[in-house]
């Protein structure tokens, strides 16, 4: 079928290509002419504006996939498109929008009979090759209408073993996409996915720091090990309980540089982790691990928060402790648990 693709970054560009490989026709737009031309070379129909893109999608109902990184850009684009589209047309937001924004947008677009589909898309830079895992929210007819698109983007069953005992609830799940529920449900499920992702990553991260610090100079001599982290990551990929795709990525990074010296350790977060914690709070779920993972990222971006200065100030207040001024080197750090300082 024919579909529009707006936003040709790492994600949108690759998705357009995967759709074309599957035989779909893709009309593309991006603010960057270079990005448009690159796709045109690969077979896409270029357009120089949203209006032109809409025009080139002649047949009703039109389907347009918006794949923009930032929530605010998505909102603007959706608003602009709303003025160009006709009743029955379908807008898909494939980015990482906040699910409550989806609910509001869907309501507004419904007033003009434009159908809005929110699609959480996982797979990162690997998706073009492996296929994208998609969690979809919105009206059933629209989701069903778009099925050829989702089927083309999804990884399909591949050689991943079937889940034993699985009943045929939604057969699409085994091919890598689901209709999760009404508007917002797709991005909600993707949001929790990312919240979990933060937790998983932090669990590995802490574990590998414990392994690495096991060589700390102030541990007893025979309790110090110089562990080979690349080998450990590798062996855990094979038959252990903690094997995962994230571990595969960690193993690849460690294989390249066991010290990870090219990484600063300053870690961004992208919104979904925050929203996941907020959802947990709304639902009274004690999400201790997901929150701790989020906070580790916050802290990684500070030098010293005000909180830490106040701790020092209070310690000085009751004990006269003057804190050391220089941060220790993180690598050979270690405990002096039997030598209380005050």
Annotated catalytic residues are 190, 197
Q: What distances in angstroms separate CA 302 from CA 78, 198, 296, one per listed residue? A: 35, 18, 10
- Nearer to a second copy among residue 63 and residue 178 (C-beta): 178
204 binds a second copy (CB under 8 A): yes
Least Å distance, CB 54 to a second copy, is: 26
267 binds a second copy (CB under 8 A): yes
- Nearer to a second copy among residue 111 and residue 329 (C-beta): 329
Q: Which of 52, 56, 130, 148 binds a second copy (CB under 8 A)?
A: 130
Residues in region 233-252 near a second copy by CB under 8 A: 233-252
77 binds a second copy (CB under 8 A): no
Phi, psi of 63 (to 5 degrees): -130, 125
23 binds a second copy (CB under 8 A): no
Neighbours of 299 (CB within 10 A): 13
Least Å distance, CB 282 to a second copy, is: 4
79 binds a second copy (CB under 8 A): no
CB 118, CB 187: distance < 8 Å: yes
CB 5, CB 27: distance < 8 Å: yes
197: nearest Cα among 120, 256, 103: 120
Structure tokens at 214: 């096991």
Least Å distance, CB 113 to a second copy, is: 18
- Nearer to a second copy among residue 30 and residue 272 (C-beta): 272
Residues in region 140-169 near a second copy by CB under 8 A: 154-155, 157-158, 160-161, 163-167, 169
Q: Which of 21, 60, 126, 140 binds a second copy (CB under 8 A)?
A: 126
Structure tokens at 123: 């797979």
CB 198, CB 297: distance < 8 Å: yes
Task: Report d(CA 235, CA 238) in Å as an integer.
Answer: 5
294 binds a second copy (CB under 8 A): yes
CB 39, CB 149: distance < 8 Å: no
Q: What distances in angstroms separate CA 159 from CA 135, 175, 210, one per listed residue? A: 21, 11, 35
30 binds a second copy (CB under 8 A): no
């Amino acid at each position: 079928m024919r579909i529009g693709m707006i936003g040709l970054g790492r994600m949108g560009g690759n998705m357009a290509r995967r759709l074309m490989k599957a035989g779909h026709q893709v009309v593309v737009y991006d603010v960057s002419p270079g990005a448009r031309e690159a796709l045109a070379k690969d077979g896409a129909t270029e357009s120089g504006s949203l209006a032109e893109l809409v025009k080139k999608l002649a047949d009703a109902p039109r389907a347009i996939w918006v794949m923009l990184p930032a929530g605010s850009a998505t909102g603007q684009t959706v608003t602009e498109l709303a003025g160009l589209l006709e009743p029955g047309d379908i807008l898909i937001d494939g980015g990482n929008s906040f699910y409550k924004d989806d609910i509001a947008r869907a309501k507004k677009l419904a007033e003009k009979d434009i159908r809005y589909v929110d699609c959480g898309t996982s797979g990162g830079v690997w998706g073009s090759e492996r296929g994208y895992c998609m969690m979809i929210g919105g009206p059933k007819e629209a989701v069903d209408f778009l099925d050829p698109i989702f089927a083309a983007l999804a990884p399909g069953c591949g050689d991943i073993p079937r889940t034993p005992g699985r009943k045929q609830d939604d057969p699409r799940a085994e091919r890598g996409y689901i209709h999760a529920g009404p508007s917002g449900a797709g991005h909600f499920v993707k949001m929790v996915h990312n919240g979990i992702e933060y937790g998983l990553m932090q669990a590995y991260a802490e574990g590998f720091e414990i392994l690495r610090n096991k060589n700390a100079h102030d541990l007893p001599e025979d309790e110090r090990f110089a562990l080979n982290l690349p080998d450990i990551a590798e062996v855990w990929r094979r038959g252990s309980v903690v094997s995962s795709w994230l571990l595969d990525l960690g193993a690849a990074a460690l294989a390249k540089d066991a010290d990870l010296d090219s990484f600063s350790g300053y870690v961004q977060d992208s919104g979904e982790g925050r929203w996941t914690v907020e959802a947990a709070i709304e639902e009274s779920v004690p999400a201790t691990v997901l929150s701790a993972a989020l906070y580790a990222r916050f802290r990684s971006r500070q030098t010293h928060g005000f909180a830490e200065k106040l701790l020092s100030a209070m310690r000085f207040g009751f004990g006269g402790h003057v804190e050391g001024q220089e941060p220790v080197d993180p690598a050979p750090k270690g405990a002096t648990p039997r030598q209380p300082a005050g």
